[in-house]
Amino acid sequence: MYLNLVKIFVPTTFAFFFGLLFTPIATHFFYKYKMWKRYSRNVVTTASDFSKIHNEEDELKTPRVGGVIIWISVLTTALVFYLVSVLFSFENVFEINFLSRGQTLIPIFTLLLGSLIGLWDDFIQIYGTGKFARDDKSWRMWKVFLIIVISLLIGIWFYYKLGMAFLHVPFLGDVYFGVLIIPFFIVVSLATFSGGVIDGIDGLSGGVLASIFAAYSAIAYANNQMDLSAFSAVVTGATLAFLWFNIPPARFYMGETGIMGLTITLATLAFLTDSVFILPVVALPLVLTSLSVILQMASKKFRNGKRLFRLAPLHHHFEAIGWPSYKVTMRFWVFSIVFAIIGVILAIISR
Q: To 10 degrees, what angle do helices 325-349 and 204-222 make?
A: 10
CA distance 335 to 319: 17
Closest CA to 77 of 109, 115, 108: 108
Q: What does the pLDDT average to over 193-210?
A: 93
pLDDT of residue 105: 93
C-alpha distances out from residue 100 to 107, 108, 111, Å: 11, 10, 15
Q: Tell me how many domains the chain contains.
A: 1
- pLDDT one-digit tens code per residue, 96-129: 889 998 899 999 999 999 999 999 999 988 887 7
Closest CA to 288 of 314, 264, 318: 314
Lowest mean pLDDT among 53-62, 107-116, 295-304: 53-62
**Based on the number of CB atoms within 10 Å of its own CB, is 114 exposed (0-12), middle (13-18) or buried (19 or more)?**
buried
pTM across the whole model: 0.94
pLDDT of residue 256: 94
Residue ranges making up the domain that contains 304: 2-349
Distance of CA 331 to the CA centre of its chain: 19
CA distance 242 to 16: 9
pLDDT of residue 42: 52
Contact indicator for 66, 255 with CB cutoff of 8 Å: yes
Backbone angles phi, psi at 166, to 5 degrees: -115, 150
pLDDT of residue 200: 84
Distance of CA 180 to the CA centre of its chain: 25
- pLDDT one-digit tens code per residue, 84-95: 888 876 665 557
